Structure 1
Amino acid sequence: MGSWWEGIDESRLLIAPDPGVNEDGSACFLSLRHPKSGLRTPYLLCNGLLQELHWFKQPSGSWFWGDYVSEDGSLYIATPIDPIFIMLPIFEDARMKKWDDPGKFRQLGEILFINDCSGYQRLFSMAEDCMEVVCESKEIGSTKFFRLDDTKVLAWLLYKVSKLKQTLSALDQNYAAREEKDTLVDAVSILGEYLKDDPWLKLLCNHFKLDSLEAKTKASDFEICPTDIGHSVGSSNFSQGKNTSEKKAERNVKQAKKAMVETESRNIKEMFTRASRRRN
């Protein structure tokens, strides 16, 4: 399953999309570098779909896992991630760009060979399919070479911003009523959780004439759900910035839900305790 899982001797519940299984009937965990922080982070690869892991902990709660109840209330959720985010930093390093020089063309196998992260080599066919979107490529004989292209990367990022703006506006009436610039800042900030400040977040902010500090400050408002193994999975429960009254209302709702969950959790535990006593 990968080095990040070694030494953890306990059951874990993972909820993930079901794209099918690999030809050998299995999925695998890969240790890759997070595109923002560069830290080694676990990802799930299943049938050609790359997924990032989010860790959730429900205080004083439980989860049903088939006929089993996990009492600590922790679980992982895997959600698909565009592999271009993961590969962008290593393709940026691989072209060895200096000043106005566009950099070097490199073979895909050479780009994906990372000494301390062998997981990238498992993404060879995926990279060959998707990196054409943000790279120039050329073939010499039967060998194909790639070089990251700033213009293509910017076009890809602008598409991502456009899709995020549409999604945010469709969330609810409050989002739909927001100013265009606020929605734009939110979309750029969300992408900023997966982009290095220099050059990509800076490039995006310059294009929209946004203050990069504003985008980064906005991003700090989002709740990051780190795994319990010391890594950040680089994903967020995106909570929109709200005014004081909205925050208070939201806090009250959360407290009420927490109280209800804790009560229901105790009832569930008591039910199973009584059932086990009857069997004994």
Structure 2
Amino acid sequence: MHGAKQHPADGHPGQWVLIAPGEATLYLFNSGAQQLFEVKAFHEEYRSWFIGQTVQQDGRLLFVTPMDPLFLILYYLIKANKEQQGKFQPLDQVVLDSEYPSCPLLLKCADVKQYIHHVAEEKEIGSQKFHKYSQEKTLKWLKKKVNQTVKALKSNNISVGERVHAATYISGKQITDTKEDYVRYAHGLISEYIPEDLSKELLKYLGLPELRSPAPEPPLKKRKLSDVPVEAEEDYTKFNSSNLKTKKANSKMSAAQKALAKVDKSGMKSISTFFSSKPKASK
């Protein structure tokens, strides 16, 4: 990221400037600072560019998009309104930042002074104009921006329903895009360029309730057992364990074992008697 006094080696001094109303972002002014562009960098590790017979080590891909400078001026208007307790001031005394000395270039952008009334009240004394932040005008202007964004989303056939519901972990059947989904998604895009407090006010102004995660589904109810005693329809005592063990033992005996079992064993000694100690002879 380039600082306020830095610019790319191949860029023209004064064209690349860092302004930070909120989070630090890289912006680009065209020649003469007539138009403002937002610069987004797509960057992955181990990426380079092959240009002719050379290799450019910086493999970032920069996306440059035209941007309304009022979004950046809005930050300074809100800040001055809090610090000066709602007093009218000249714009060149409002859009000042010691950390980012290039921010006054915003006032040079085409049509800024013509459209500043969308976000500020204006008072003219003699040949000089004074301004102060107006939340009422700003919300009205932001609503137009939301409507323009909704129109662009629809004209480009961009589906937003699943993205909106995914943000609140809502699961269920197939999701279709509704008017509220488009407005809510557009509000989210616009909110990336305005303070959080203003984003919440815009949400109310658009008539959208705050999204909340759905309550967890209640556990399944257990089946209620009947109080009436249940009687067995069949006598299961015939399947007692002793009968089953005898049946299983018989089923595992071989034919020779079955024949041996039928032999008369009366008078026969057990095999264990051959290994028992002999009784001592009497003296």
The two structures share one fold, judged by TM-score above 0.5 = yes
Q: Report deviation, 1:82.
A: 0.9
1:84 maps onto 2:83 in alignment: no
Counterpart for residue 221 of structure 2:
none
Q: Which has the higher strand share?
A: 1
| 2:143/2:206 contact within 8 Å kept | no
Instruction: Provide the C-alpha distance between the structure 2 equivalents of 1:82 and 1:156, rounded to a whole number of angstroms.
Output: 12
1:135 shift after superposition: 1.4
Counterpart of 2:93 (choices 110, 113, 117) is: 110
Find the partner of 1:202 among 191, 200, 203.
200
* TM-superposed deviation, 1:11: 6.6
Displacement of 1:64 in angstroms is: 5.0
1:24-35 matches, cutoff 5 A:
28-34=15-21
Alpha-carbon contact 2:95-2:104 (below 8 Å) kept = yes
Displacement of 1:145 in angstroms is 0.2
Do the aligned partners of residues 150 and 72 (structure 1) sit closer, same or farther apart at CA in structure 2, a change above 3 Å counting?
Answer: closer
For 1:42, give the aligned amino acid: L
Counterpart of 1:44, as a letter, is L
Contact 2:90 2:131 in 1 (8 A): yes
**What number of residue pairs does the alignment pair up?**
195
Higher helix share: 1
Q: Is 1:156 aligned with 2:124?
A: no
Distance 2:185 2:69 in 1: 22
SS in 1 for 2:82: coil
**In structure 2, what is the Cα distance between the partners aligned to 1:4 and 1:86?**
15
Give the partner amino acid of 1:187: A
User: Which residue of the partner structure matches residue 27 of structure 2?
Assistant: 43
Provide structure 1 residue ranges, at least 5 long, that are not aligned to the other structure. 15-24, 218-280
CA contact (8 A) 1:201 1:212 kept: no
For 1:32 and 1:123, locate their aligned partners in 2 and report how far apart those are by CA, in whole Å.
10
Counterpart of 2:28 in structure 1: which amino acid?
Answer: L
User: Is the 8 Å Cα contact of residues 136 and 146 (structure 1) preserved in structure 2?
Assistant: yes
Gap change, CA 1:148 and 1:173, over 3 Å in 2: closer
Matches within 5 A, 1:172-191: 172=157, 174-175=159-160, 178-191=177-190
TM-score (norm 2): 0.59
Tell which structure's C-alpha radius of gyration is larger. 2
For 1:168, give the aligned amino acid: L
The structure showing larger relative contact order (alpha-carbon pairs under 8 Å, at least 6 residues apart) is 1
Deviations 1:73-92 (A, max 9, x none): 32322211111111111101
How large is the Cα RMSD of the aligned pairs? 3.3
Q: Report what 1:140 is aligned to.
A: 125
Measured in 2, the distance between the counterparts of 1:77 and 1:188 equals 22
**In structure 2, distance between residues paired with 1:113 and 1:4:** 13
Alignment check: 8 A CA contact 1:96 1:104 kept: no
Distance 1:111 1:59, change over 3 A: same
Distance apart, 1:58 and its partner CA: 4.7
Q: Is the 8 A contact 2:4 2:102 kept in 1?
A: no
TM-score norm. by structure 1 comes to 0.59
Could you tell me whether the CA contact under 8 Å between 2:37 and 2:66 is conserved in 1?
A: yes
Identity across aligned pairs (percent)?
Answer: 27
Deviations 1:173-231 (A, max 9, x none): 74595111111110111111111111x111111122324456xx9xxxxxxxxxxxxxx
